[in-house]
Amino acid sequence: MYAISKKSSNPKCNLVSKGEKIKQVKKFKYLGYLTTSDGRCTSEVSKRIAMAKDTFQKIKKILANRNISMTTKIRVIESYVWSVLLYGSECWTINKEIEEKPEAVEMWFIRRMMRISWTEKKSNELVLKEANLERSLIKTIRQFLGHVCRHKGLEHLAITGKIEGKSSSGRQRITIVENLKSRAIGKGSNNNFIRLTENRYEWRNMIANVCSRQGI
C-alpha cells in the first residue's frame, strides 16, 4: 500500500486486512510498472530508458550495420526497442523534464545506428538530416492519450476525472490534458479537447501539428 501525495512527507495510512496490517511503501511495482508515492513517473521513465538501451545493445550488430538500410533499422528498433521503452507510457505524467528524456534517448539511438561519435560534434538537426529522419517518439507517446480516451475505461476516468475537496497550497501540477491543450492550436475547454480524441484522424493531425511547431 502507498499513499500518493505531492508533499515531501507522505501521510501515514493504517489499513488492516484479515487482521494483518498492510505495510506502507514509497514505491510499488504492478504489472511491470513502477509507481511512486509522489505521483511522478521520473523513476519509471529512467528505468524504461535503461531497459531500452540494454535491449539496443543486445542487437547493436544489426542496428549499426552499414549494409542494412535505415528503413529496416527503424522497423527493428520500433519492434524490439520502442516496445520496451514505451511500455506503460500512457500513464506517464509528462512535464518538460520528462519530455526531454525520451527526446534525448531517441537521438542516442539514431547516433549509434549512424555510428556517429560525440567527438564529431554534429548537431541533432544535422544528424537527423543525414539519417533522413524526423523525431517521432514524443509524437507516439502523445497519440496514446487519444487511444486511452477512446476506450472509455479506467484510464479515461483517471485522466478526465476530478477529486473532490480543496486543492493543496502552492503551484498545482499541470495535467497531461492541460499540457497538450496548452500547445494545441484551438485550446478551448478540456471537454472540447477530449472530444477531439474521438476522431483518431483529427487527433493524429493535431498532434503532428503540435510536434512540428516544437521542432519534434
pTM: 0.67
Residue 62: Cβ-neighbour burial (10 angstroms; 0-12, 13-18, 19+): middle
CA dihedral 71, 72, 75, 79 (to 10 degrees): -160
- Residue-level pLDDT at 47: 92
Integer distance in angstroms from the first to the last C-alpha of the chain?
39
CA gap 1, 26 in Å, rounded: 8
CA gap 158, 135 in Å, rounded: 29
- Residue-level pLDDT at 95: 73
CA gap 11, 7 in Å, rounded: 8
CA gap 139, 170 in Å, rounded: 31
Identify which of 100, 111, 112, 178 has the alpha carbon closest to the alpha carbon of residue 137. Answer: 100
Mean pLDDT by 10 residues, the chain (216 residues): 56 79 79 78 90 95 92 92 87 78 92 90 92 85 69 62 62 60 52 64 64 54
Domain segments of the chain: what residues?
Answer: 1-39, 40-133, 141-161+175-213
- Residue-level pLDDT at 98: 82
Identify which of 148, 150, 168 has the alpha carbon closest to the alpha carbon of residue 158. Answer: 148
Q: Give the list of residues 6+ apart from residue 216 with CB closer than 8 angstroms, or none.
A: 103, 134, 135, 136, 138, 139
The secondary structure of 15-55 as a DSSP string is -EETTEEPPP-SEEEETTEEEETT---HHHHHHHHHHHHHH
- Residue-level pLDDT at 42: 86
